Structure 1
Amino acid sequence: MTSIEPLWGVKEVSEFLGVPIKMLYQWKWQRIGPPVKKVGKYLRYVPAKVRAWAEQPDEQAA
C-alpha cells in the first residue's frame, strides 16, 4: 500500500519557498504561484506539485 504525503498548509509552503505567507495569498488571488487547493476555508498544497513548481526554470526576458 502506498502512503500519501500529507498536504501542506501555507506555513509549510512559506517556509519551503522562503516567502511570506501573505505572498502565497496574493499569488492565489493573481492565479500565479504553486498549484493550490481550497479545503474548506483553508489553502492546501500537494508537496510534490510545490516542489515541481519551484524547480521550473524562470522565464527569461527577450
Structure 2
Amino acid sequence: MTDRYLSVDEVAGLLGTSARFPRRLIEERRIRYVKVGRHVRIPQSAVDEYIAARTVQPIRLRCTGLRRVA
C-alpha cells in the first residue's frame, strides 16, 4: 500500500491547527517530511505516528471501597 503525501495545509486541517504548527514541526525536524523541489509533503503515516506518540491515555482510578468524608 502506498502512503498518501499531504501538504502543510492538509496536515494543519487534520490536526485542527493553523499552517504555522506543521511548518514548525518540519523546521524543528519533529515529523518526517519529503521535499519535492520547493514543495514539502508529509506522509500520512508520519502524521498518524505523531498523533499516536502524543496520545495520553486516561488514568483509571482504583475503587478502594472507602467513602469520602465531606
> Taking structure 2 as the reference length, what is the TM-score of the superposition?
0.64
Q: More strand per residue: 1 or 2?
A: 2
> Which consecutive unaligned segments of at least 5 residues does structure 2 have?
56-70
1:8 and 1:24 map into 2 onto residues whose CA distance is 11
Q: More helix per residue: 1 or 2?
A: 1
> Taking structure 1 as the reference length, what is the TM-score of the superposition?
0.70
The offset of 1:5, in angstroms, is: 4.0
2:53 and 2:24 map into 1 onto residues whose CA distance is 20
Larger relative contact order (CA 8 Å, sep ≥ 6): 1
Q: Provide closer, same or farther for how the CA distance between residues 57 and 24 of structure 1 changes in structure 2, counting only shifts above 3 A.
A: closer
The offset of 1:56, in angstroms, is: 0.8
Question: Runs (4+) of structure 1 moved beyond 3 Å?
Answer: none
The structure with more radius of gyration:
2
Report sequence identity in percent.
20
